[in-house]
Structure 1
Amino acid sequence: MFENIQFANPQFFWLFLILPVAIVWYFFKRKKETASLKISSIKGFKGAPSMLAKLKPLLFVLRLLALSALIVAMARPQKEDISTRTKTTRGIDIVMAIDVSSSMLARDLKPNRLTALKKVAADFIKERVNDRIGLVVYAAESFTKTPITSDKAIVLRSLNDINYGQLEDGTAIGMGLATSVNRLKDSKAKSKVIILLTDGVNNSGFIEPQTAASLAIEYGIKTYTIGLGSNGMALSPIAYNPDGSFRYGMSKVEIDEALLKDIAEKTGGVYFRATDNEKLSEIYEEINKLEKTDIEEFKYYNYEEEFRMFALLACGLLMLEYLLRYTVFRSFV
C-alpha cells in the first residue's frame, strides 16, 4: 500500500504530538463525562457490569483514529512515477589510425601486436555508444577503411577485417595522420579526436608528420598517439620462407617517441607507450576516460494523489463515532 509513497507536506506529522496530550487529557477527565449521583447505599443497584460501559472508550479511540487519518491526509501522500529521457549534448567524432606494417606482426604482444590491438580497439569502440567512429589504416600509404559512422556494427566488422598485406610495407605516419585529418576536417562535432597508433618510425609517404600535425591543429583536431612495442628486442618478421610465410627473428624495437610526443603535445593530446597487452588495454581505457561525451538527462515526474482515501477514512470514523455516541452509547453520554 505504501510502496513508492512520499509526502508533499511532511511537516504536518508534527500534529501527531497532539495524540499523547489527548490521551492524557482523556485519562484524567473520563470520570467527569458521566453524571454522578450520591445515595446512602447502592445495594439495590448491584449486578453484572454493563458491556456498553466497558466499550465506551471505543468512542475516544475512533476519534483518535479519525484525527490520525486526517493528519496523514494533510501531509498529502503521493505516488511518484519518474520517467527519464537522455540526450547527447556533446558528440565526439573519433578516427582510429592503425599501423598495418609487417612489424605489427611482432610477437612481443600476444598473439601479435595487430591482433592484440584489434581486440582492445573493439572493446573501446563498444564503450563509445554515443559517438561516431571511423577507421584509417596505413603502411607505406594510407586509406580510409571506414568513414566516421555511428553504426558500431560496421566499424567492428571493418576492424576485424584489418590484416597485414592490404598495403605496401612501410610506415607512413604522416600519411596516416593526414588521411585521418581529412576524414574529420568537415565534421560538425563539438570535439574531434584522432587516435594514432604505430610501432615504428616514419619511413614512407610524401606527407611529413609535422605537416599533418599542423593540419590537425588548423582544424582543431586533438591527437592521441600510441607507441606500440616492448622495450629492447622483439620477435619480429625478418624474412620470407620459401612458402611465402614470414621467418621470425629477434629485432630491435624502434619507435620515434620524440615525434609522437611532439604530435600529441602540439594538438592537445597525450602520448602513450604500450609495452604489453595489459598496458595497451589501460591506454585505451585512459583515453575513454579523457574523452567523455556529455549526456543531458531529462526527468519527468508524475504524481498520483493518495490523500483522498485518508480524508474519507477520517470522515467515516467521525460519522461512526457520532452515530455510536448518540445511539448505542446515548445513555452514557
Structure 2
Amino acid sequence: MINSDFHFLRPEWLLALLPLAVLALWLLRQHKRQGNWLNVCDAELLPYLLQTRAGGRAKARVFWPLSLAFVLAVIALAGPTWQRLPAPAFRNDTGLVIALNLSVSMDADDIKPSRLLRSRYKITDLLRQRKDGQSALLVYTRQAFVVTPLTDDVETILNLVSGVNTDIMPIQGRNTLAAIRQSVDLLKQAGIQQGDILLVTDAVEAIDPAALEKTRGPYRISVLAVGTETGAPIKQTGGGFLKDKNGNIIVARLQVKPMKKLASLSGGIFQSMTADDRDIQTLTHFFDRAAKAQGAKDAQLKLNVWRDFGPYLLWLVVPLAALGFRKGLLCLALLVLLPLPQSSWATEHSEVWQKLWKTDDQRGQQAFKQQQFERAAELFKQPDWRAAALYKAGKYEQAAKIWQQQNSAEADYNRGNALAQAGKLKAAIEAYQQALAKKPGFEAAKKNKELIEKLLKQQQQKQQQSSDSKKSESQKNQQNQNQQDSSDTSQNAEQNSVQDQSKSDNGEQLKDQRGDSSKQTESSPKDKKESVRDEEKQAKAKQPADESKADAEQKAVTTSEAKKPNEDQQAVEQWLNRIPDEPSGLLRRKFRYQYQQRRQ
C-alpha cells in the first residue's frame, strides 16, 4: 500500500507530459468541430461534405494507446517511489602500508627457502585475505623506496612482489625510521585518517620514543618478525658467506626485544612468522578490528536511498507500444533477430561497447593481463607496449624491429633479448653493446651480453669439433679405400702368377704325356670358366657387405649431424632461460634513479 512517502525521484521528467496535453486538446477540438455538423447534416453525408484524409479515423484509434504508453514511460522516467532502502553510510577507508626490509641479512636461510622468499609468500597471503581498504608496498634498507602507492588493485602489488630482492637496492644498511616516515607520507598523501604500518623485517635498531611518536602520527606500527634467534650465515651470490672486517662469518640473528618495544609504543602488535597461516590470520584480524569498530559506531547513519519502481511500469508500456506498429511488423522484426547466433552477437556487442568506453591501449592491457598476447599486440598503439606483447607471443623478430626504432638503452636491451630468443646471437650482442654505450652502468645488459658471448663460443667450439670429426672420418674412409685397392691389385697379381704357373705346367705335361694332355686341354677351359664364375660370385657377395658397411657409416654420420642441432637448440634454450624478464630490473633502475636524485 502506498503511504505518505510517495514521491518522484526525478520529477523534472513530468514536464514531458505538457506537449502531449497540448496535442490531445487540439485533437479534441477538431473532433468537436465535426460534432457540430452532425446537428445540421446526416452522418451519411459528412464524408462527402467534409475534407478528411484517408485513414484519419485509424490514426485516431492508434493515437490514444500510444498516448497512454507515452504517459506511462514518462512516469517511469520520473521514478515513482515510496519505499526506503537500508544503506549504511560507512565505508572502510583504512590503509595498510607494508614495509619490507631488503638488507642482505634477509638472504639468510635459517627459515627455508630463505627469509626474503618466505616474507614474499606471507605478503602475498596477507594481501589476498585483505578484502577491502587500500594497500601499499615499499622496501627499505638505509633508505626507503616506494614499490606501489596506496591502491585498491591488489593484483598490481602481487605482480611486483615477485621481483623484489636484495640486489635491486642501490644502497645497503637498515633505517627503520626512514621506512616509517615514508609510510606515513603515503598515508597522508592518500588522505587516510586511520591506517596501519606493517614492518616485515628481521631486525630493528633502537629508536627514540619521542622521535617515533612525532614521526608515526596517528598511525599504528606492527611488526612481522622474520627468522630465528639462532640465526644463520648470509650467502653471497658469488659463493661463500658474508664476513666482517676481521674476516669472521656474520651470523644474522633475530632481534625480538626491539621489535616488541616498537610495536607496543606505537599501538600495534608483534607477530613472529609461523610455518602455517596463523600469523596472517592474527594480523588480518587486528587490521580489520579498527575498521569494524568504526563501522559499528556509524551503523546508525543511513543514506537517503529509495527504491525506484519506474522500471516496473515498462511492462505495461510494451503491449501498448506494440499497437502503434503495423500488423506483422513486430513479428517480422522478431523473426529477423532470432536466427542470429547469440554468442557472436554478444561478442560483437561487447566489442563495440568496449570501444565506446576504453581506448585501444586499455583494451590491449586487458588482453595482456588475460595472456592474450597476440590480441594485445593488435590493440596496442604505443610501440613499447606492442613490442612487449609480441615478445610474450613468441614473435621475437617483430618485437626487435619495433624496439630498433626507439633510441634508448632500454629499447636496445629489450631488442637484444628478442634477438637472443630468435637465435640471432651476434645481432643480440651488438644490441647489448649499443645499450651499454648509451648507459654504461646497465648491469642487466652487461650480464646478458656475457651470457650470449659464452653461448656463442660454445656453438663455435661445437661447430669446430663437428668439422674436425668430419675431416677425420673422410681421411679414414680414404685410407680404407686405398687399402682395399692395394689388396685388390695384390690378389690380381697372385691370380696372374698362378695362371702363368699353370700354363707352364700344362706345357711340360704336353711334352711328356700326349694322351693325358689332350684330356687336360679339354678340361682346362671348363676349370677356368668355373674359377671365373666362383670369383665373380665371391665379388658379388663381398660387394653388398661393403655397401652395407658404407651405408651404416653414412647413417651414423647423418644421425650424429641431426642430433647436434637439437643439442645446440637445447643449449640455446637453457642459456636464454637465464635472461631475466621479471620486474626486478625495472625496480632496480627506478630505485637507483631515486637514490641519485636524493643525493643531488
Provide the secondary structure at the position in 1 that maps to 2:106.
helix
Q: Which residue of 2 aligns with 1:257?
A: 256
Q: Which residue of 2 aligns with 1:116?
A: 118
Quick check: 1:133–1:149 contact (8 Å CA) kept in 2? Answer: yes
Q: Which residue of 1 aligns with 2:576?
A: none
Q: Does 1:289 align with 2:289?
A: no
Q: Which residue of 2 aligns with 1:270?
A: 269
- For 1:87 and 1:115, the matched residues in 2 are separated by 41
- For 2:136 and 2:200, the matched residues in 1 are separated by 14
Quick check: 1:181–1:221 contact (8 Å CA) kept in 2? Answer: yes
Q: Does 1:101 align with 2:103?
A: yes
CA, structure 1 residues 106+170, in 2 after alignment: closer, same or farther (shift >3 Å)? same
Q: Which residue of 1 aligns with 2:135?
A: 133
Across the aligned residues of Structure 1 and Structure 2, the Cα RMSD in angstroms comes to 3.4
Provide the secondary structure at the position in 1 that maps to 2:195.
strand
| Structure with more of its chain in strand, by fraction | 1
Q: Which residue of 1 aligns with 2:179?
A: 176
Match of 1:229 among 227, 232, 236: 227
Q: Deviations over 1:242-274 (max 9, x none)?
A: xx3454798544344332222211211112223
- For 1:223 and 1:152, the matched residues in 2 are separated by 21
Q: Deviations over 1:43-72 (max 9, x none)?
A: xxxxxxxxxxxxxxxxxxxxxxxxxxxxxx
Task: Please state how far the C-alpha of 1:96 moved relative to its aligned partner.
Answer: 0.2
| Structure with more of its chain in helix, by fraction | 2
Report the count of equivalent residues: 209
- For 1:245 and 1:186, the matched residues in 2 are separated by 43
Structure 2 residue runs without a partner (length 5+): 1-84, 244-248, 309-600
Task: Please state how far the C-alpha of 1:124 moved relative to its aligned partner.
Answer: 0.8
Query: Structure 1 residues 181-190 or 83-92, which shifts more?
Result: 83-92
- For 1:300 and 1:235, the matched residues in 2 are separated by 65
- For 1:277 and 1:212, the matched residues in 2 are separated by 34
Provide the secondary structure at the position in 2 that maps to 1:89.
coil
- For 2:125 and 2:88, the matched residues in 1 are separated by 23
Task: Please state how far the C-alpha of 1:230 moved relative to its aligned partner.
Answer: 1.1
Q: Which residue of 1 aligns with 2:163?
A: 161
CA, structure 1 residues 164+245, in 2 after alignment: closer, same or farther (shift >3 Å)? farther
- For 2:91 and 2:168, the matched residues in 1 are separated by 38
Residue identity in the other structure for 1:120: K
- For 2:281 and 2:199, the matched residues in 1 are separated by 15
CA, structure 1 residues 200+246, in 2 after alignment: closer, same or farther (shift >3 Å)? farther
Residue identity in the other structure for 1:165: D
- For 2:275 and 2:208, the matched residues in 1 are separated by 27
Quick check: 1:200–1:253 contact (8 Å CA) kept in 2? Answer: no
CA, structure 1 residues 87+253, in 2 after alignment: closer, same or farther (shift >3 Å)? farther
Q: Which residue of 1 aligns with 2:597?
A: none
Q: Which residue of 1 aligns with 2:148?
A: 146
Structure of greater Rg = 2
Task: Please state how far the C-alpha of 1:277 moved relative to its aligned partner.
Answer: 3.1
Residue identity in the other structure for 1:282: R
Quick check: 1:105–1:113 contact (8 Å CA) kept in 2? Answer: yes
Q: Which residue of 2 aligns with 1:213?
A: 212
Q: Which residue of 2 aligns with 1:199?
A: 202
CA, structure 1 residues 291+199, in 2 after alignment: closer, same or farther (shift >3 Å)? same
CA, structure 1 residues 233+123, in 2 after alignment: closer, same or farther (shift >3 Å)? closer
Task: Please state how far the C-alpha of 1:131 moved relative to its aligned partner.
Answer: 1.2
Task: Please state how far the C-alpha of 1:200 moved relative to its aligned partner.
Answer: 2.5
Q: Which residue of 1 aligns with 2:370?
A: none
- For 2:162 and 2:183, the matched residues in 1 are separated by 19
Aligned sequence identity (%) = 20
- For 1:233 and 1:110, the matched residues in 2 are separated by 12
Structure 1 residue runs without a partner (length 5+): 1-82, 303-333
- For 2:210 and 2:168, the matched residues in 1 are separated by 25
Provide the secondary structure at the position in 2 that maps to 1:178.
helix
- For 1:126 and 1:88, the matched residues in 2 are separated by 23
Q: Deviations over 1:281-307 (max 9, x none)?
A: 3222101011214477999999xxxxx
- For 1:300 and 1:114, the matched residues in 2 are separated by 52
Quick check: 1:104–1:113 contact (8 Å CA) kept in 2? Answer: yes
Task: Please state how far the C-alpha of 1:199 moved relative to its aligned partner.
Answer: 0.9
Quick check: 2:234–2:252 contact (8 Å CA) kept in 1? Answer: no
Task: Please state how far the C-alpha of 1:234 moved relative to its aligned partner.
Answer: 2.1
Residue identity in the other structure for 1:143: F
CA, structure 1 residues 211+118, in 2 after alignment: closer, same or farther (shift >3 Å)? farther
Task: Please state how far the C-alpha of 1:134 moved relative to its aligned partner.
Answer: 0.5
- For 1:115 and 1:194, the matched residues in 2 are separated by 20
- For 2:88 and 2:158, the matched residues in 1 are separated by 25
Q: Deviations over 1:298-328 (max 9, x none)?
A: 99999xxxxxxxxxxxxxxxxxxxxxxxxxx
CA, structure 1 residues 189+98, in 2 after alignment: closer, same or farther (shift >3 Å)? same
- For 1:270 and 1:154, the matched residues in 2 are separated by 27
CA, structure 1 residues 164+121, in 2 after alignment: closer, same or farther (shift >3 Å)? same
Provide the secondary structure at the position in 2 that maps to 1:176.
helix
Task: Please state how far the C-alpha of 1:99 moved relative to its aligned partner.
Answer: 0.5
Match of 2:91 among 77, 83, 89: 89
Task: Please state how far the C-alpha of 1:231 moved relative to its aligned partner.
Answer: 2.3
Residue identity in the other structure for 2:285: K
Task: Please state how far the C-alpha of 1:163 moved relative to its aligned partner.
Answer: 1.0
Quick check: 2:139–2:146 contact (8 Å CA) kept in 1? Answer: yes
